[in-house]
Amino acid sequence: MSDSKIHRFHCDVCSIELPTRFTYPMHYIPHKLSKIAAAEVMDYALNQKQWRDELMAGKMLGVLVVKDNNGMLGYLAAYSGNLAHTGEHPYFVPHIYNLLEPQGLFRTGEAEITEINHSIEALENSPERKETEELLSTILAKHEDEEIKMRQAMESAKAKRDKLRSEGNISAEQEAALIKESQFMKAEMRRLKKRHNAEIEIITQKLNDFQTIINDLKAKRRIKSEQLQNVLFKNYVVNNARGESKDIATIFHQRFNRLPPGGTGDCCAPKLLQYAFLNGLKPVCMAEFWVGQSPQGEVRHHGHFYPACRSKCLPLMEFMLQGLNVEDNPLVTTSNKELIVVYEDQWLIVIDKPAGMLTVPGKDKEAESLLEIVHKMLPEGENALEVHRLDQATSGLVVIAKTKDIQSALRQQFEQRKVHKTYLALLDGCPAEQEGIIDLPLRPNTDDRPRQVVDFKNGKQAITHYRVLEHRGNRTLVEFTPLTGRTHQLRVHASHPQGLNCPIVGDMLYGTASDRLHLHAQTISFTHPVTGDKVSLVSHKHLNSK
């Protein structure tokens, strides 16, 4: 292999059976070849002293096992974003488009935007603007003091008038004088406020002039930024296995009618595939893995494998994988499974959902959801209406209403935390304590949905009680009782270093992929919205049931 980007395996891999289909990068269990390649890349990268600190601060790396024109096996390596402030390193595949080229579009456009930023900063911090703000503050305080004194004078005069009137025996001329005094003082207050408003308006207008210029600069910056992004993304041209090419701006416009998020095209997966396609290499399997510390608030474990991100990579993968024989998405092949009905009456039905089945219809409509299947099961005239959801990868009890009134009543119980649920989870590791409370607020990762992050400032409260049930070697069976109902709450609370620091087995988003996510909604209890009886149900399935 003459190409310096293709690396030979350090060990003999001839006896390892090749995969029959290429990795589905959004949901996969790494092939043995990918694991070996990843270990070799990590060993190489962490032995480069000039990168070690940067890598250990946290970085996604990736490998793509390939065959060259002679049928020889090797692998390519990539990193997400930049490394040591560049996208060019002999060991790794290059960027699809080099943003950091000194005279390139990005540098030129970035310089223009930086100049606008400096102008905005200069205006916001200009001595004249600050002096005007201080003057306005001083005058407002002075005006408030003058108006307070005027009101006090008016109240004092009114009290004297009221006293004279209460004593009686005042003449018509005196009454007229009292009225005239009241009218005069009210008019004086109006004149005082008018003078104040006129004075304030002059100063406020001066500040508004500053703000108008600042707002115009911000609008100019936004337009330039959007134009720059659009031009740059037009230069990110990706190929697929059919030999077709398309820029990523067009891909996102056709899929979402919007520009790609910042950083699209700089992740490992598209960089690896692009290099393979441009150099006549046949992709065999791939994987991405995390090196170093977890990002603030997120859950990434050193050495663990992760799927490609959905917000940036999924649309690119849908195009780039065309022409390859790719594994099926395991999350869209579950609709043929027989559903177990745990409870049913004329108002509601409770189903034991299998792992891998959507609770409600998905955006892509690739697989039937639980609601759609249940609707077909019900007699004509009955509906299947969502009350709550389980993650697609989670199995267990799901309550479904048959009428809108029942749906509303049951949802209210969920919102008021009157529904009691427990989950069984098999953890990869052993929690430090046998029982406790996890309180870590969560919010969506806007750059990589559906992942969630811990955010103590902007996150929503998420509380979970846990109890260890038994130890199974280096794995632990626990019972989770969620006291709130946030997306991926149990998964993040199990995985996060400030939680149990023990990912749920099979959690490819926050841990390591396996045959399935070992999380099961085991029990649920609620008040029947019609009879008022307590309904308490237990799943008869187990964690190792699909």
Which pLDDT score is estimated for 381?
74
326: pLDDT strictly greater than 60: yes
| Model pLDDT for residues 498-528, shown as the tens digit of each residue | 999 999 999 989 988 888 899 999 999 999 9
Question: Distance of alpha carbon 246 from its chain centroid, rounded?
Answer: 27
Which pLDDT score is estimated for 534?
96
DSSP letters spanning 375-441: HHHSPTT---EES----TT-EEEEEEESSHHHHHHHHHHHHTT--EEEEEEEEES--SSSEEEEE--
Q: How far apart are CA 425 and CA 188, in angstroms?
A: 76
Q: How far apart are CA 491 and CA 425, in angstroms?
A: 9
Q: How far apart are CA 145 and CA 175, in angstroms?
A: 31
Looking only at the bridges linking them, the beta strands covering 519-527 and 395-401 are: parallel
109: pLDDT strictly greater than 80: no
Dihedral of alpha carbons 244, 248, 250, 254, sign: positive
394 Cβ contact partners less than 8 Å away, ≥ 6 residues apart: 353, 355, 423, 517, 519, 520, 521
Q: What is the mean pLDDT of residues 127-148?
A: 94
Tokens (6 digits) for 280 = 């006549």
Which pLDDT score is estimated for 447?
77
333: pLDDT strictly greater than 60: no
507 Cβ contact partners less than 8 Å away, ≥ 6 residues apart: 393, 491, 494, 495, 517, 519
Long-range contacts of 7-11 (CB under 8 A, 24+ apart): 7/37, 7/40, 7/41, 7/74, 7/75, 7/76, 7/77, 7/91, 8/74, 9/33, 9/36, 9/37, 9/40, 9/73, 9/74, 9/75, 10/40, 11/36
Which pLDDT score is estimated for 107?
63
Which pLDDT score is estimated for 106?
59
Q: How far apart are CA 232 and CA 212, in angstroms?
A: 30
Our CA angle for 524, 527, 533, nearest 5°, is: 115
- Which of 391, 428, 448, 507 is flagged as catalytic? 391
Of 339, 331, 444, which Cα lies nearest the Cα of 398? 339
CB distance 241 to 323 below 8 Å: yes
For tokens 């004249």, the residue is: 128
| Model pLDDT for residues 59-87, shown as the tens digit of each residue | 999 999 999 989 999 999 999 998 987 76
Q: What stretches of 307-380 show up as alpha helix (H) in DSSP? A: 310-320, 370-377
117 Cβ contact partners less than 8 Å away, ≥ 6 residues apart: 221
| pTM, 2 dp | 0.70
Q: How confident is residue 230, by pLDDT bands cut at 50, 70 and 90?
A: confident
Q: What is the mean pLDDT of residues 125-139?
A: 93
Instruction: Indicate the average pLDDT of the chain.
Output: 90
Looking only at the bridges linking them, the beta strands covering 463-472 and 395-401 are: unpaired
Three-state DSSP at 537 gives strand
Which pLDDT score is estimated for 388?
95
Q: How far apart are CA 484 and CA 302, in angstroms?
A: 29
DSSP-assigned beta bridge partners for residue 453: 443
Q: How far apart are CA 504 and CA 429, in angstroms?
A: 9
Tokens (6 digits) for 224 = 């330039």
Of 445, 61, 28, which Cα lies nearest the Cα of 261? 445
Q: How confident is residue 103, by pLDDT bands cut at 50, 70 and 90?
A: low
| Model pLDDT for residues 277-320, shown as the tens digit of each residue | 999 999 999 999 999 998 888 888 899 999 998 888 999 999 99
- Other C-beta atoms closer than 10 Å to the C-beta of 382 total 15
Burial pattern 204-237, b for ≥16 Cβ within 10 A else e, equals: eeeeeebeeebeeeeeebeeebeebbeebbebbb
Q: How far apart are CA 165 and CA 172, in angstroms?
A: 11
CB distance 33 to 13 below 8 Å: yes
**How far, CA to CA in Å, does 526 sit from each of 70, 532, 536?**
64, 9, 7
SS3 assignment for 114-131 = HHHHHHHHHHHCCHHHHH
Of 60, 75, 117, which Cα lies nearest the Cα of 303? 60
Our CA angle for 482, 486, 490, nearest 5°, is: 50
| Model pLDDT for residues 161-180, shown as the tens digit of each residue | 999 988 888 888 988 999 99
Q: How confident is residue 546, by pLDDT bands cut at 50, 70 and 90?
A: very low
1: pLDDT strictly greater than 50: no
Kindly state the DSSP code that residue 309 receives in the 8-state scheme.
P
What burial class does residue 93 get, using C-beta atoms within 10 Å of its C-beta: 0-12 exposed, 13-18 middle, 19+ buried? buried
Mean pLDDT check: name the lowest of 96-100, 288-292, 477-481, 536-540: 96-100
Mean pLDDT check: name the lowest of 89-103, 127-141, 221-235, 408-422: 89-103
Mean pLDDT check: name the lowest of 473-482, 515-524, 535-544: 535-544
Which pLDDT score is estimated for 545?
47
Q: What is the mean pLDDT of residues 402-412?
A: 96
337: pLDDT strictly greater than 80: no
Which pLDDT score is estimated for 104?
56
Residue 391 designated active-site = yes
